[in-house]
Structure 1
Amino acid sequence: MATRLTESASYAHLWSTPALVGVFDDQHRLQTWLDILAALAAAQAELGLVPAVAAEQIAEHARVERLDLEFVAAETRHTSHSTLGLIRGLQQVLPEPAREYVYYGATVQDLTDTWSGLVMRDVGRLVRADLARAHARMLRLAAAHRDTVMVGRTHGQPGAPITFGFKAATWADEIGRHIVRLDEGDARWSVGQLAGAVGVLGFFEPDGQELRRRFCARLGLRDPGISWTATRDRVAEFGSVLSMIAGTLARVGNEVYELQRPEIGELSEAPRGSTVGSITMPHKRNPEASEHLDTLARIARAAAGVLVEGMVSGHERDGRAWKAEWMALPEVALTAGTAASLAGDLLDGLVVDEARMRANLDRTGQRWASERVLAELSRRLGKHRAQELMQEALSTADGADLVALLASRGVADPADLAAWVESPAIGTAGAMVDAVVARGTPGTTV
């Protein structure tokens, strides 16, 4: 039964995707735990630590559908131990000789940290795939609108001209770095855990390191090289990268959110006939997807903060650190992963109004050209003298003709002044767009 609005049948689609639910679903998690126990028994059997027949029987019976899950839950509550209910539930369905070899020499953290390694591997790859889709769309927008002139805004106010292609290219460039972060980080966080009581694998002496290597290999994870029960930087890094990804996507969402405002009207989400913006104001068309990207990012950042807090742990094992991850890791994975999927959908249907972009620029009169004019005058008069002159000229009444104001002061030929205000300085913007598009999506061929 769902206990949170984010898990309800009506609203869960806003906070997860089917693929992400497949990773964190309770049945799948339990089955993954059972697979980890089976892999451990098989690796132990290879080294003669447990009978081969016991490992085979554990692998055969370690199926979630065979367990009495009510019994597992009751034993977990009764013993106040995180995994003893699961152990006893599996022992119930095993033949007698194999029961003693379930969870042989392992700890709760061996099981759950290894699960975390699998989660980080699988979620990281799901997010990467969705980011690659969004990135490709950003590159197409950048190329298509390389020379689409629009207002560049700073502090929320109209500044100098840019192109929409340049704006989209900054999105793509940032997302491209996140894709590289995921690729590079996978080697660090896709690892297993087999540490034993205090990390030194004393239960398995002298076979501990070889056992861990074989155990990790069976699960498709890397051998960490040393126990990481108290070192939580891997999980913290993973959560931080996901929160950064969500932050970038929120920046994109906020651009669409702001530029869809009717008084600006330069971008808009794809219209959907079934969407109801407001039940009291039927004319509204709300930027639902772009707004939600910011909502998801806020939760991702908060959850990632909990994971970073876990880096401050005590001695060789500290439940305060890694048990908090059981809640925070799914939270950051679900929200950032949903954001990556949603961003791709948003960009696929993004509507770009080129005419409105140009009209908004023209509405500022000749003032949009102040940077270009300042640069040209600086070559003639010196930077600071030119700036003082521009400040004085632009302090006159709104709508005044900048060319006439400056020409009246005799600082430049009127024809030159007219040329400067007619030609936006966007050549370098186009060159930067070309460079981003040429690089393409990391790990792919353009």
Structure 2
Amino acid sequence: FHYGTTSQDLIDTSLMMRMRDSVAIVSQSLQNLNLKLKELASSHTNEKVLMARTRMQNALPISVPEKIGNWCSQIEVLLASTPQIFLLQLGGPEGAVRKFGASYHDISNDMASTLGLTAAKHVWHTDRQQVTNICFWFTQAATVMGKIAQDVLFMVQSDVGEARIEGGGSSSAMKHKKNPVLAEVILAQARYCHTQMSGINTASIHENERSGTAWTLEWMLVPALLITSANTVVNTNELIENITIKSVAY
């Protein structure tokens, strides 16, 4: 039994704490990836050894640092927009906080400080904007990882030959092939995150003062998005550790 609060207060607060910790982990992994990419870029000169492609057609030669710099800039935008606000939920059964009386703001501030959260300016039982905003950051992280993976998939094509991925990917039927499995997985995961984000937007409409249906749908979607997005960053770190970029005469 919990005086003055409701189960949603506990679960929403727990969600924000888990999202906060997940953001910290993914942010650190993104920083590590950015460093690896910069090291990879610095191991190459500014000699034009890659082909820029626009609208799926060969454009003009570019350097490896120019190619990788595009990836790094997108990661840096992500890092600059890392979520910083994770809200305490304290609304009570009907969201009116009546049982706390004049002490409500003091209690809310003390609880938020103890838990490492931010005291909300209003009860957000049916206002899921901050949940959606944080989920969108994870979706954007997956998008950037998908962009890197998509570029790598083009670079390792047999008839392009600008890069090679070490490790697995051998074909069971055609021994001459080396399939870019990890890059394919990253791109598939990124697209999966996009579908989850669409569902989270749908789940963000909560009727009246509290919703059972929309809230339950949120439980089903948010963990899958966060886990998959985080995994795209882990996989992209591994991909960059195992890629070799080759000089091609253009």
TM-score range, shorter chain: over 0.9
Q: Which has the larger radius of gyration?
A: 1
Question: Which residues of 2 match residues 35-434 of structure 1 at below 5 A?
Answer: 102-149=1-48, 150-182=50-82, 185-187=83-85, 190-269=86-165, 271-272=166-167, 275=168, 277-354=170-247, 357=248, 359=249, 361=250
CA change 1:311–1:336 in 2 (3 A) is same
Instruction: Give the number of the structure whose residues are more often strand, by fraction.
Output: 2
Deviation readout 1:57-95 (Å, 9 max, x if unpaired): xxxxxxxxxxxxxxxxxxxxxxxxxxxxxxxxxxxxxxx
How far off its partner does 1:154 sit? 1.1
**1:238–1:291 Cα change, 3 Å:** same
Give, in whole Å, the separation in 1 of the partners of 2:195 and 2:37.
27
Q: Partners of 1:167 and 1:276 in 2: how far apart?
A: 24
The 1-side partners of 2:169 and 2:229 are apart by 26
Contact map agreement 2:126 2:210 (CA 8 A) in 1: yes
Q: 2:169·2:180 contact (CA, 8 Å) conserved in 1?
A: no
- Structure 1 residue 142, shift from structure 2 partner: 3.0
Equivalenced residue count is 249
**How far off its partner does 1:303 sit?**
1.1
Runs of 5+ unmatched residues, structure 2: none
Output the CA distance in 2 between the equivalents of 1:326 and 1:311: 11
Structure 2 residue aligned with 1:16: none
Matched position secondary structure for 1:224: coil
Distance 1:308 1:154 in 2: 32
Contact map agreement 2:45 2:64 (CA 8 A) in 1:
yes
CA–CA separation in structure 2 for the residues paired with 1:332 and 1:107: 26
Shift of 1:237: 0.7
Distance 2:16 2:149 in 1: 30
**What is the identity, as a one-letter code, of the residue corresponding to 1:268?**
R
Residue 276 (structure 1) shift = 5.2
Q: Which amino acid aligns with 1:344?
A: N
Q: Residue 279 of structure 1: CA displacement?
A: 2.0
Identity of aligned residues (%): 24
Matching residue's letter, 1:228: W
SS state at 1:158 partner: strand
Alignment-mate amino acid for residue 330 of structure 1: P
What is the rounded CA distance, in whole Å, between the counterparts of 1:171 and 1:151 in structure 2?
A: 16
Three-state SS of the structure 2 residue aligned to 1:186 is coil
Cα distance, 1:140 vs. partner? 2.2
Q: Output aligned runs, 1:16-27, within 5 Å.
A: none
Q: Which amino acid aligns with 1:181?
A: S
* Residue 146 of structure 1: how far off its partner (Å): 4.7
Secondary structure of residue in 1 paired with 2:46: coil
Q: Which has the higher contact order (CA 8 A, sep 6+)?
A: 2
Q: Distance in 1 between matches of 2:104 and 2:71?
A: 47
1:198 positional shift: 2.1
- Structure 1: state its 5+ residue gaps: 1-101, 362-446
Deviation at 1:139, TM superposition (A): 1.9
Name the CA distance, whole Å, in 2 between partners of 1:107 and 1:122: 24
Cα separation, 2, equivalents of 1:290 and 1:276? 10
Q: Aligned with 1:218: secondary structure? A: helix
2-structure distance, mates of 1:233, 1:146: 45
For the residue of structure 1 that corresponds to 2:84, the secondary structure is helix
Per-residue CA deviations over 1:285-331 (Å, capped at 9, x if unaligned) read 11111111111111111111122223322222222332211111101
* Aligned AA (2:159): E
More helix by share: 1
**Aligned with 1:207: secondary structure?**
helix
CA distance in 2, matches of 1:226, 1:335: 31
Residue 226 (structure 1) shift: 1.6
Cα deviation code 1:344-398 (max 9, x no counterpart): 11112210102xx2x2x1xxxxxxxxxxxxxxxxxxxxxxxxxxxxxxxxxxxxx
Q: Is the 8 A contact 2:138 2:225 kept in 1?
A: yes
How large is the RMSD of aligned CA atoms in angstroms?
Answer: 1.5
Shift, 1:232, TM fit: 0.4
AA at the equivalent of 1:120: M
Query: What SS does the corresponding residue of 1:315 show, helix, strand or coil?
Result: coil
Residues 310, 146 of structure 1: CA spacing in aligned structure 2 closer, same or farther, 3 A cutoff? farther
